[in-house]
Amino acid sequence: MFKWYLDILFTVLVRPILFYTKLPPGEWEDESLTFCGINCWILALFTTLVVFINQLIPVGATLVEGITGFKLLLISPVMLVLAFMFFVIVYSILGGVFMALFISLFYVLGALMYWGGRILGGKGQYLQNLKTSLYSSAVILVGIFPILMILLSKRGILDFTNYKIGYNIVYSFAVLYLYGLDAIAIRKTQKVLKWQAFVAALLPAVLLIILGMVANKMLPRLANWIT
């Protein structure tokens, strides 16, 4: 499974034309959905680590404040079990939320890819576009970078303004790269010309730009948690 995932990830990101030309067989709810789910859980893992380091460890430190020596050694197994339990709880919640959020997002993006291609004379099927859309979820892994940047911001290495700039750069890159992936996927599944594929791919790109603008407006509300 690990080798399969890395092979798919590498091919989608580095050789997308080859990947979408020789799209793996099977229904959309098989390998493509599994691939998207793995990406969601990986992103959730890094998010949980940041939450654990920035929030749970400081809270846990207050519980053992003033306790030293043998007493600290005595309660350390209990603290480790509690820490592990909280980590698993947060990870499970974030994993489920990310799964619901991103699968729904790429489901909608697949529909936009399909209708964009159909408007321009494409002959493909919606489920094929949904399948390619789920595989393009590899792009969400770039979200690891702004998540890890929170560690730098929390420690004063980055102020909120610089964090916001970094976040916008990463998001813009992700949208641009996903735009290219969608155009390739539309061309291969809908059998349209290259320029038609790039025009059709504007529909999901516009939606992502709108979502990015909304997220950018909401980002200042998280400033206290980030910094």
The stretch 3-23 carries a mean pLDDT of 88
Answer with the residue of higher pLDDT: 142 or 219: 142
Q: Assign 3-class secondary structure to 181-214.
A: HHHHHHHHHHCCCHHHHHHHCHHHHHHHHHHHHH
In a domain, 125, yes or no: yes
Q: Is 11 within a domain?
A: no
Tens digits of residue pLDDT in 77-126: 777 787 788 888 989 999 999 999 999 999 999 999 988 888 888 787 88
64 is a domain residue = yes
**Residue 38 near residue 5 (C-beta atoms within 8 A):** yes
Q: Are the C-beta atoms of residues 201 and 183 closer than 8 Å to each other?
A: yes
Q: Let me know if residue 1 belongs to a domain.
A: no
Grade residue 21 by pLDDT with cuts at 50, 70 and 90: confident
Q: Tell me, what's the pLDDT at 28? A: 66
Residue 5 resides in a domain: no
**Cα dihedral 176, 205, 178, 214 sign:** positive
Residues in the chain: 227
* Total of domains in the chain: 1
Q: Which two structure tokens, joined as six digits, stand for 175?
A: 């949208």
**Can you give the residue range of the structural domain that contains 143?**
27-226
